[in-house]
Amino acid sequence: MPKFCHTLGSSSSEDANMANLTNGLCCPTLAFLAALTSLHSGAQSDLNNDEEQAQATTEAPSFSARLVEEVVITGSRLRRDTFSSVSPLQIITTELSKEAGIIDPAEILQGSTASTGQQIDLTFQGFVLDNGPAASTVNLRGLGASRNLILINGRRVSPSGVEGAPAAPNLNLLPRSLVARYDILLDGASSVYGSDAIAGVVNAVLKKDFAGLELEIYSNHPEQKGGADSTIYGSWGVNTDRGLFGIGVEYAGTKKASLGNRSWTSGCETHMEVDENGRLRTEGQYFSSLGYDPLGNCRLGSLGARTFIPGLPVGSIYYTPGYSNGGWGNFSESGDPFTGLAADGNGDGRGDVDLRQYDLNGKPSQLNADLFPKSTRFNIMAFGEYTIAGEANLTPYFEANYAFLEVAANSGEGQLFPEVPALNPFNLCNPNQSQGVDCGLAMGAYLDNPSIAANIAAVYGLTPAQFRDFGIVNLYPGALGPVPTVPIVSVSGDRNLVEVEQSQVRLVAGIRGDIPSLSFGQLNDWRFDTYLSFSHSNGKSDRYGVREDRLNHALGYNSSSSTPCSNDLSNSLTSDVSSGCVPVNMYANSLYPLGRVTGDFATLAEREYLFDTRHFDTDYEQIIFSIYASGNVLNLPAGGAALGVGFEARRDEIKSKPDAVAADGLFWGFFADKGAYGTRDVTEWFAELELPLLVNKPFFTELNLNISARFTDDEYYGNNTTEAIKLGWRPAESLLIRGTWGTAFRAPNLRELFLSGSTGFLNVSDPCYLPEEALNNLTGEYIPENDQRDPLVLANCRATGVDPTKANNGGFNTFSVEAEAGGSLDLDPEESESWTFGFAYEQNFTNKFKLSFGLTYYEIDITNTVIEPSTGFIVRDCYTDEAGDGSSAFCNRITRDLTSPENPQITFMDLGFINRDQEIARGVDYNMSFNDQFNWGAPIDVSLNLNATRLIERSTQFTSPSGTVDYEEYAGEWGFPEWQVQGALRFKWDRWTLTWETRFLDGVKQDAEAVDEFDSIAGGSDTCLGPPADVLCRDYAEADNYFRHSTSLFYKADTFILGVGIRNVFNKQPPRVDGSEVISFSNTPIGFGYDLQGRTFFVDAVYLLGET
C-alpha cells in the first residue's frame, strides 16, 4: 500500500471527511494499479506532455496577444499522435508575446480576442472587488472570471486573493518568464475538466524542456514618467535518459505611475458632452450661468473645506477666512437657497465662493493616486521526474511552485463628514463656545445682507424682510441655540493607502506509467497517471484610516453634555477607544486648506488617536486527488478506439479572517467585511471515448467522434452530470469541418456560499422622492402638474408604503445607502449548453506558400446564473414592475425608515446573490495564416497572422415573479466590441526577426436605454445653454475604432538573445468619455483593453549556457 494513503488516513479531525474519502477511494485503486504494473511500468504523460501536445494541431494558426502558433491543447485527456481537435482553441507563447512588448500574464490573457467584458487589473484601486485589492482576473467571452477555469500544467489553480471571499485565481501570482505558453480552450469543458469550465479553460504550461543555465532580463520603460517594469529570470535544468530536474526563479518589480504621470489622466476630470451638431464640449456652463466663477474645463467633483447645517435652508457654507456673507464667522454661503444664484454678499458681481478652490478634482492629492501601483513579484518553480527501468516504466514526478506578490496602492483621499454634536465645544453652531455662533441668527444676518436682500428682491420683487413683514412667508429661522453640524473635509492619508501581500504554495506529487497487464484482446497501450496536489494561498491587507468610533468619542457622542472623551452615558466602549482619547476639533484651520483641499488634524495627538489599521488575513486551501487511465479498447476499421476513465476528489476551504476594524466596519464611511468561512467536498468520475468512424473513404478522409461525460457529487448540491459530443470530418485532407455540443455545470463557489456579509455605502437614486422640477423654489411646495414621473413608479411607491407626493428632500434624491452582499446556501447551480461549428482549411494546391484560414461559430447559453444584483437593478425592478402593486421580489430587498412621510429614506439594501434566468454569449472566431519565403538579396521568411472575433450577442434575461422580463443586450457596448482583431507581420532572415503587431478594437457605445436626451443646463446638460442662443447637449460615452501598433527587432545567437522594441509605436491615447457614464479615471476608461501606458520601449536580453 502506498505510504501517502496512510498519511491521508491519519489527517487531522477537521480533514477527517476528506481523509476518509481519499482513503476509501484512492488507496484500493492504487493497490489495483500497482498489481497491474507489477511487471514494471513506464509512463508518458497524457495530459501535460509538451512534446506530444506539440504534434497535435487543430485549426489554422491564430494570433492572440502577439503571434499565436499552432494550437496544441486539444480539450481532451486522450493521447493521440496526430489529430486536429474540433474544439475552438488558441495558444499564446510567451516567447512571441514578449516580442510584442507583453510579459505580464494578466495583460497577455486579457488581450486575447476571446476576452470580452470588463477586465479587472491593477488599475482598479479604490474599488470593492470580488478577489480584493491587488487582483487581476480574466473574463472569457464576457461571462465573468468565476466561469473560467485556470490550470497550471493541466491541473487546477486554486482561487487566491484577500478580503471577503476570493472566487478566482489571481493572475498576478502566475509567473512570467517561467511560463512557456498559455493554451486557451474556448468551449464548455466541464465534462473534461470539471466544474467552472463554462466559458473556457486557460492552461498555463510552465517551461519544462530546458537544460543548462538560462538568464534573462526583460524591461519595459514608458515614454512618460513612472510605470517602468522589469523582470529578472534564471533557470537551470538537467536532462538524462531517464529523468529530468529543473528549477527556475524570477523577480519582477513595477514602479508606481500616478494619474498625474500620464497626459490623459494628469488634469482634472472634465465634462464630455456632444451637442446636436456632433461637436464635443467640455466646459461647464451651469455654475457660471448662476454667477459663479467659471470652472473652466473642470467638472465639479467632491468638495471639501465646508460644512453643512441640517435644518436650515442653506446648503453648505464654505470656509472663507476673514469674511462671511452671513453671520458664520469664517464661512459663507455659496449659492442662495431661494434664487439658486451664486451668493454675492459683497456686491462685486461675482459669487463669494470660488468652487474650484474647494474641489478635490484635479488637486495634487488626487493626481498622486495610482494609475498603476508599485508592485513586487517573486516566483520559484522546481520540477522533476525519473523513470524506473522496466517494461512498464513507473515514473514518479513532482512540481513545486511558490509565488509572492506585494502591492502598495494609493486610491486618493475622499471626504470625511461626521456630524458634530450641538454642544461640542468646537462646534461652529454652538453659541456657547468662544468661536461658535447661533446659526439661526447667522442665517438672519445673511438674509439682511444688503447685497443678498437686493438679489432676492430682483428675482421675487420683495426682500426677505418684506416677505416676513407682509405676512407672506417668514424666511428667518430666528435664534436656534446650539445645533449639530456636518463639517465636510478631506484628511491626508485617510482610507486611501492599502498594502497587500499575497503568496501561494502549490505542490504536486504523482506517478504515471504503462499498464502492460491490460494488453490483451483488443486492449492495448494502457497507461495511468495519478497525483495528489496541495495548494495554499494567503493574502494579507492593511489599510489606514480614521476610526468612526474613536472620532465619535472624541466629539462627545458618549457624553450627555457632548464633552469630548467623556462617557457619562456609560456606553460600552472598547479599551482602544476609551484610552488615549484626545478632543478633536473638526473646525481647525488645518482641515480647511483652500486650493489644496486635503488637510490634516490640528495636532499629531489627534491623528495618532483617530487613525488605525484595518487588517485582513485570507487563506484558501485546495487539495485534489486524481487518478486517470487511458488506452485503446477496440480496433475499428478506421483505427483504434481510445477510452479514458478517471476519478477526482477535491476539497476547497476558505478562512477569510478580518480584524474587528474590518468586521465591524469601524472606519468612518467604509464598508464592513465579515470575511468568509467554509469548506466544500466534491467527488467526480469521468470518462472519454474517441471513435474513428471513417478513414480514407470518398469524401471521408477522416471522420472522428469524441464523447465525454462526467458525474459530479457536490456536498451541497448533490449529483450532476455533464457531457459533450465532438465530431470532426475531413472531406479532404486540407479541410476540417467540426462541430461540438456540450453541457457544463457550475455549483456556487465558496464566495457565493459562505461570504459572511460585506457592507458598504453606495449612492442610490430614489424615484419615490419628489423631483426638483416638481417643487416651488421659494416655498418648497409640491407642484403636481410638473411631476413627470411614470404613474407605474408612483403606484409601486405607494404599494411599498411611500407617498411619492410627500417624500421631499428638496429635489436632491440621491442618497448614500448601506448595502450588504452575502453568501447563500439556497442558490441553485448554474447549468449551460454550448455549441460550436466551423471549419479549418489549409491550402495544398501549391508548395510555393502556405495559407490556412478558418472560422468557428460559438454559442454558450447559461441558465440559473448566479449574480449580485446592483442597487440600480433592485430599485428599477421594484418600482417599474408592471404589476404596480409592489409585488416584485426585489422590493423585499429594500428597507426604509417610514417614520416620517416626508423623509422615508432607504436605510438598507440587500445585494445578496440570486439566480438570474439566462445569459447568452455567441459569436464567430476567425483566423488566417500566410507564410512564404522571398529572396531580397537574402532569403527572408515572411509570415502574416490574423485572429478576429465577431461578437453577435451577449445578453442577460431575468423574469420577475410577476412575469416582467428584463432583457439586456450588451454587444457593441463598453467591454463588448462587435469586432476584435489582432494581427502580426513577421520578417525573419538569418538570425534576425522583425515584427510588426497591430491590435484593433471596434467602436463602442452606451446602452441605448441609458443614453441621455439632448438637453440644456436647465435640465440634464452641463455644457449647453440651450435655445435660442445655444444648442442642446448630452453626455458623451462612445469610443471610435481603436488601433494600437507595436514593433520589435530580435537577434538570436547560439548563446544569447537580444531584442529591442516599441509598444504603442504611435502613442495612441485611450478614448475620453464622460465619467458619469463609464467607469474611468479623469475621463479615461479602465478595464476595456485600451493602452493606458502610452508609448513604451522594451528590451530583452537572454544568456544561454548549455543545451536548451
pLDDT tens digits for range 648-686: 999 999 999 999 999 999 999 898 899 999 999 999 999
Inside any domain, residue 800:
yes
**Interacting residues of 933 by C-beta distance below 8 A, sequence separation 6+:** 939, 940, 941, 942
C-alpha cell at 836: 460550436
Could you tell me which residue, 17 or 88, shows the higher pLDDT?
88
For 840-851, what is the mean pLDDT? Answer: 91
Inside any domain, residue 980:
no
In the prediction, which pLDDT does 56 show? 31
In the prediction, which pLDDT does 761 show? 78
Inside any domain, residue 155:
no
Inside any domain, residue 311:
yes
Q: How far apart are CA 1029 and CA 243, in angstroms?
A: 83
pLDDT tens sequence across 382-414: 999 999 999 889 999 999 999 999 999 999 999
Length of the chain as a residue count: 1108
For 551-576, what is the mean pLDDT? Answer: 96
For 818-829, what is the mean pLDDT? Answer: 88
Q: How far apart are CA 645 and CA 709, in angstroms?
A: 10
C-alpha cell at 177: 518568464
User: What is the percent of the chain where pLDDT is above 70?
Assistant: 92
C-alpha cell at 718: 448533490
Q: What is the DSSP string of 181-224?
A: EEEEE-S--HHHH-TTTTSEEEEEEE--S--EEEEEEEEEEESS
Confidence band of 62 (pLDDT split at 50, 70, 90): very low
User: Which one-letter amino acid corresponds to residue 461?
Assistant: G
Question: Is the CB of residue 263 less than 8 Å from the CB of residue 224?
Answer: yes
In the prediction, which pLDDT does 716 show? 92
**Domain end residue (candidates: 861, 889, 910):** 910
pLDDT tens sequence across 307-344: 999 888 887 999 999 999 999 999 999 999 999 899 99
For 629-637, what is the mean pLDDT? Answer: 94
Inside any domain, residue 261:
no
Identify the helix (H) or strand (E) that includes residue 563.
none
pLDDT at 809 over 70: yes
Inside any domain, residue 418:
yes
User: Which one-letter amino acid corresponds to residue 1060?
Assistant: V
Residue with cell 478506439: 641
pLDDT at 71 over 80: no
Give the chain's mean pLDDT.
89
Instruction: Provide the domain count of the chain.
Output: 3
Is it true that the peptide bond before 1028 is cis, omega within 30 degrees of 0?
Answer: yes
Q: How far apart are CA 543 and CA 612, in angstroms?
A: 8
In the prediction, which pLDDT does 1107 show? 58
For 942-958, what is the mean pLDDT? Answer: 95
Q: What is the DSSP string of 333-353?
A: ESB-TTT-SBP-SS-SSS-S-
For 1060-1085, what is the mean pLDDT? Answer: 96
For 192-219, what is the mean pLDDT? Answer: 89
In the prediction, which pLDDT does 949 show? 96
Q: How far apart are CA 189 and CA 9, in angstroms?
A: 32
For 340-361, what is the mean pLDDT? Answer: 94
Q: With 0-12 CB in 10 A as exposed, 13-18 as middle and 19+ as buried, what is 731? A: middle
In the prediction, which pLDDT does 75 show? 73
For 822-850, what is the mean pLDDT? Answer: 91
Q: With 0-12 CB in 10 A as exposed, 13-18 as middle and 19+ as buried, what is 699? A: exposed
3-state secondary structure string across 447-488: HHCHHHHHHHHHHHCCCHHHHHHCCCCCCCCCCCCCCCEEEE
Residue with cell 474650484: 356
- DSSP 8-state class, residue 53: H
For 41-66, what is the mean pLDDT? Answer: 34
Confidence band of 81 (pLDDT split at 50, 70, 90): low
Confidence band of 963 (pLDDT split at 50, 70, 90): confident
**Domain end residue (candidates: 873, 889, 910):** 910
In the prediction, which pLDDT does 85 show? 65
Could you tell me which residue, 762 or 486, shows the higher pLDDT?
486
Inside any domain, residue 184:
no
C-alpha cell at 318: 464654505
Residue with cell 504611435: 1066
Distances (CA, A) of 794 to 620, 801, 859, 1048: 48, 11, 40, 62
pLDDT at 300 over 60: yes
**Domain end residue (candidates: 491, 518, 546):** 491
pLDDT at 815 over 50: yes
pLDDT at 567 over 80: yes
Could you tell me which residue, 877 or 161, shows the higher pLDDT?
161
pTM of the model: 0.88
- For Cα atoms 807, 811, 812, give the angle at the middle one, nearest 5 degrees: 100
Inside any domain, residue 458:
yes
Q: How far apart are CA 93 and CA 148, in angstroms?
A: 20
pLDDT at 944 over 70: yes
C-alpha cell at 1006: 452606451
- DSSP 8-state class, residue 435: T
For 1030-1039, what is the mean pLDDT? Answer: 96
Its domain, for residue 770, covers 748-827+881-910
Please count the helices (runs of H) and the strands (runs of E) in the chain.
18, 49
pLDDT at 25 over 70: no
Confidence band of 748 (pLDDT split at 50, 70, 90): very high
For 114-130, what is the mean pLDDT? Answer: 91
In the prediction, which pLDDT does 774 show? 87
Distances (CA, A) of 424 to 550, 555, 599, 667, 684: 15, 6, 21, 21, 65
For 928-953, what is the mean pLDDT? Answer: 93
